[in-house]
Chains A and B, each alone.
Chain A
């Protein structure tokens, strides 16, 4: 009895200490973002103050930045590239995973091994040949020029997740459908896809965040302002707003807020999908 109570007390102490550590870690994780947002609310007399929160916040920076209207173009390009990249990755990886995992096609394991080996490839080692290839094919400064490589880079991870989800589907469901005379494509669309929904959502969220934030490829592929995506916008505005950080940071905040909101709203499905068995060997 005595011992049980001591253990209970120790456990409660442990919980309080854990909570304190986690709150400190969460604060460290948030401080740079809070700092960014606060600078976006400062006028030029306060913008160089070495503090986290400066007095007298203003909204003028946002009004000024939005009035210039240049961000819309970046935003639209990002949206098109991310949507195209997500769609292409989902379709290509779903078809491939289905062929390997459910149709058990010949050489499936070898194809899988080749695809997965790309997970070991640092993007920088592909940068030059991809750029040369795209410029020869006339795809620099086109949306497709960025959609193609980001989709290809997303396929290995998508295949890991989708193949695993498809492996968990019982054979009986397919047997029943096949006896009814369904083709393999019907089985994929009607049975397999709905049953792998949570894995598809994980892949879509991950691929959206990756392609939305892609900088290295965008930097060398989108050299004309008309095609630049949001990750290139800070570079574009850095010069003109050098002496007025308030406005530059209003732009940075507007850029950052999109993927942050996206994740906060969808994290339940992302984490849920991972926990349900998206990522396991």
Chain B
């Protein structure tokens, strides 16, 4: 129904001003007053920090201007590990969250005659639990000798194969990414549910008459119609994966031996634990640029033309 009103609203009616929605006049002063609260918060807590961060990154700890902090980063093996892990976080999280999110949402919206809300809520619940609580619960769940996962291995007779997931460099990052995916998949499910529910029912019925059923209907019809949702979720998931901090900090502190360090945890470690603020600022600038670069690439791959907001209604024709 919302689709119909929306379409109707966008049809220009004869005898109306070309510009829609400008009924109210506002003097420049009045306009400024409306913008001031948001602009103030934004300037103080977002813009000013970005700028001061860039400036701080260009001065060495002794106050000399130059690229010393960036050169230090280029030669820092831990920094390289952090970049690689951050990229791994983005790739793994996105792949799993999009796949799980879309598949479960399609099942909920297209195959359940009732009870959709129950599943959407149960799957979303991990999203609302405080991350520091989740970190401690999963640290126990992963623990060798007494954790729940060890119990499962033991029950299957595989106890001697159980790895110390968080204590082994090669598995630490993947084990924490799994927690992140566990937490965020429900959000992806909900967003895809919103996207699928917004698809015109008549379009689906017409496709059914044309013989599009089951898996082919999902692949050839539903998935392309959710493109707008997918692009928004890819961008959002990228930023989320890059800024994940509490899980890593509380589960491994970036260890063992910096193996699970990401840019987010490395900024904290260099800036606060090691008190090297200028170096940490340079890493923060790199993180910021990496986020922009990744989103630019994703945007280009999606073919452009999509705004930042989720847009589940890009129905062709």
What residues of chain A have their CB less than 8 Å away from a CB belonging to chain B?
Answer: 7, 10, 14-15, 18-19, 21-22, 25-26, 28-33, 35-36, 39, 48-52, 88, 91-93, 95-96, 98-99, 101-106, 111, 114-116, 118-130, 132-133, 148-149, 151-153, 155, 159-160, 164, 167-168, 170-171, 174-175, 178, 184, 187, 209, 212-213, 215-216, 220, 230-235, 238, 245, 248-249, 252, 255-256, 259-260, 262-264, 267-268, 271, 274-277, 279-281
CB neighbours (8 Å) of B35 from chain A are 95-96, 99, 105, 111
* Main SS at interface, chain B: helix
- Pair B44/A152 contact, Cβ less than 8 Å: yes
CB neighbours (8 Å) of A98 from chain B are 34
Question: Which residues of B21-69 are within 8 A (CB) of A?
Answer: 21-26, 28, 30-31, 34-35, 37-39, 41-42, 44-46, 48-50, 52-53, 56
A192 to B: closest C-beta gap in Å: 10
CB neighbours (8 Å) of A122 from chain B are 239, 242-243, 263-264, 287-288, 291
Chain A to chain B: the 7 pairs with minimum beta-carbon distance, closest first: A50-B151, A281-B311, A18-B111, A129-B49, A152-B45, A99-B34, A124-B264
Is B128 part of the contact surface with A, judged by Cβ < 8 Å? yes
CB neighbours (8 Å) of A48 from chain B are 145-146
Given A52-B151, A104-B21, A129-B281, 12 more pairs with CB closer than 8 A:
A32-B126, A103-B25, A114-B42, A124-B242, A125-B287, A126-B49, A130-B45, A133-B49, A148-B41, A153-B46, A213-B131, A281-B309
Instruction: Determine the distance from Cα of A30 to Cα of B186 in the docked complex, in whole angstroms.
Output: 11
- Return the chain B residue nearest A52 by Cβ: B148
- Pair B125/A133 contact, Cβ less than 8 Å: no
Is B160 part of the contact surface with A, judged by Cβ < 8 Å? no
Instruction: Determine the distance from Cα of A22 to Cα of B19 in the docked complex, in whole angstroms.
Output: 48
* Main SS at interface, chain A: helix
- Return the chain A residue nearest B119 by Cβ: A22
- Pair B130/A92 contact, Cβ less than 8 Å: no
CB neighbours (8 Å) of A209 from chain B are 127-128
Is B122 part of the contact surface with A, judged by Cβ < 8 Å? yes
Partner among B119, B150, B186 whose Cβ is within 8 Å of the Cβ of A50: B150
Is B280 part of the contact surface with A, judged by Cβ < 8 Å? yes
- Pair B245/A104 contact, Cβ less than 8 Å: no
Given contacts A50-B146, A102-B24, contact A124 B136 (CB under 8 A): no
